A and B are shown apart, each in its own frame.
Chain A
Amino acid sequence: MSAPRGAGLDLRPVGESLWEIPASSRPDMRVPARVFADRELLDAILDDRSLEQLQNVATLPGIVEAALAMPDIHQGYGFPVGGVAATEVPDGVVSPGGVGYDINCGVRLLALPVTLAELGGRRETLVHEISRAAPAGAGKEGGIRVRGDDLDRLLRMGPSALVERGIGTGDDVERTESQGCLEGADPSAVSERARLRGEGQLGTIGSGNHFVELQRVEEVLDAETAAAFGLREGQVAVLIHSGSRGLGHQVCTDYVKRMDAAHRRYGIELPDRQLACAPQSSPEGRAYLAAMAAAANFAWANRHALAHAVRESVRRVLGGEAADGTRQVYDVAHNVAKIERYDGLEVCVHRKGATRAFPAGSPDLPRDYRATGQPVFVPGSMGTASFVLAGEPGSIERSFGTCCHGAGRRLSRTGARKRIGGAELRRQLEAEGIVVRCASNRGLAEEAPFAYKDVDRVVAVVERAGLARRVARLRPVGVVKG
């Protein structure tokens, strides 16, 4: 018999669905590395280098408590995807790679005032209209062109700057994490190159795993909370997954380079060059936080513009009443660093492929959700379920207010492409009743459902660990992809 997977790792169960690699397992680790998982997910996690990457995160100066991983963790570059690291304010480090290139990649859910039965034969037309209004793929045509002072305003304010121009509503902004605006955003910290890359990309989906999906609420699992979120069985909803596009990619690129050059000055030794970082209080740290906040605000504005495009598509296909009755449930970030307070300690929480999941009573939530906890959206893959969750108190106790962000990749992109062609996958999805609009067959194949872990299992783990509870399960009925 071969040795059990992960045999070299000192991995111990330390709580409900929680495993720990002690800080003593490597001389450079400052805190333990902890992963939320069941045994089967843990086996999949041990297939790649994600836990080694989590141990690397545990070496960062100023990290407190533990380097944490959600059950959808997979190998990234530098930080694993699905990782959480909280560092002390003000002298702990901030790491651009700990947020990632797609700054404030995130998910927004809209609830339409119609059921799938009521939508009936107009479903394909609606998906088609959305694909025209929300450009996807590598091309940059079709986005809203914003530059100069208008772009500065957007970077400082986020979606509120669009509401001023008649795009979206104040309610949408209110039902967005941090009201769509991180404090301290400074457009002057964003390079000209980043601005050039973002130009014309506002209101575009992008490529990779980004999408706009039409969903049906398949099952309500917590009736009271679902009602507060405005969700009922059979209802049509739209899930939007996108981020800060080229602008955010360039901000991260710029600051990884800058911190790579600077970190030795602060006496920082790193096991992986991509973990480049600097103290939050340093000139490099402060500039990155200001640029990252601006890129995050741009991402919220992007999803806000995409939601507007969806509403206008609803207006054309279903009429004004349905468009005006399309309610934003919430919008969550899953690649971001934020200053938060736990047990009186102020920390900079890096979430890379992880979602904030604040419980009921949190003052940071909109009034509508103070009694329920924060809505969290966990997209599965195309063709499988997605979940709506609500934050639970365990997240504050165990994971710096965080839970999972998706199913988590299991196969590489090339691995997925070897197993299925895009055209064949498209036929399969359509045979399951899912309308597909996709710019690239190759891109479609890379996102095949079997390339991802089992989302039901991921969600069951965060529920058992007390980080969030299940509210509703959604099933895709239309996909627009890059």
Chain B
Amino acid sequence: VPPAHRFASHTGEVEIEIEAPTERDVFAEAARALAELMDGEDGEPATRDVRVEAADRPALLAEWLGELAFLAETEGLVPERVAALELGEGALRARVEGRTSTPRHLVKAVTYHDLTLEERDGSWFARVVLDV
């Protein structure tokens, strides 16, 4: 199964569901989903090294998306590619390559509501609810 995401309906908010062959792919696919949602324009190429920490893997996924939302709001960075993604125990490192512009939509926050990241029948599934 190639990595894929879909936006599910949730009154007032946006819910992202992700399926991918590996846990690492879930994190990369989540960045693609977020970029689609933010809808950036053509801008200057930019690269940022990101490191986030959290108590467990689902919280790490929330923290990762939170960091990307923060970069979009403060620097206008919308990711195009995630390189060198290292998933450690309670920490993640990655190089985010993208463009800085004025994203049309920002994400207010990544919530812990229904936050899911788990292995299901040999592939990985995640659900994240965003406040937009």
Contacts and interface: CB of A to CB of B under 8 A. Distances in A.
B12 A274 contact: no
Nearest to A250: B70
B120 interface: no
A341 to B, nearest CB: 32
Contacts of B86: none
Contacts of B132: 208, 413
A423 interface: no
- Helix, strand, loop or mixed for chain A's interface? mixed
A282 B70 CA distance: 28
Nearest to A249: B108
A78 interface: yes
Contacts of A398: none
Contacts of B109: 101, 249, 252-253
A308 interface: no
Nearest to A78: B113
Interface stretch (A85-93, A225-233, A256-264, A317-325): A256-264
A75 interface: yes
B105 interface: yes
B112 A260 contact: yes
Interface in A411-463: 411-415, 440, 442-443
Given A48-B11, A196-B74, A197-B70, A256 B112 contact: yes
Nearest to A197: B73
Contacts of A48: 11
A55 to B, nearest CB: 15
Contacts of B12: 74-76, 81, 409, 412-413
Contacts of B106: 138, 207, 246
B102 A139 contact: yes
A43 interface: no
Contacts of B115: 273-274
A196 B131 CA distance: 19
Interface string A233-275: 0000000000000100110110011001100000000001110
Interface in B89-132: 102-106, 108-115, 129, 131-132
Interface string A114-150: 0000000000000000000000011110000000000
B3 interface: no
Given A138-B106, A260-B59, A261-B55, A412 B11 contact: yes
B63 interface: yes
**Residue of B9, B111, B132 most packed against chain A (CB within 10 A):** B111
Contacts of A331: none
A193 interface: yes
Interface residues of A, number: 44
A177 interface: no
A102 B7 CA distance: 22
B21 interface: no
B28 interface: no
A413 B14 contact: yes
B54 interface: yes
A193 B59 contact: no
B10 A412 contact: yes
B44 interface: no
B9 A253 contact: no
Interface string B21-39: 0000000000000000000
A74 B114 CA distance: 17
B73 A246 contact: yes
B66 A440 contact: no
A197 B74 contact: yes
A413 B59 CA distance: 25
Given A77-B112, A101-B131, A246-B74, 6 more contacts: A48-B11, A77-B111, A77-B114, A100-B131, A260-B55, A411-B11
Interface of B: 7, 9-14, 54-55, 59, 63, 66, 70, 73-74, 102-106, 108-115, 129, 131-132
Closest 3 CB pairs of A and B: A77-B113, A274-B113, A273-B112
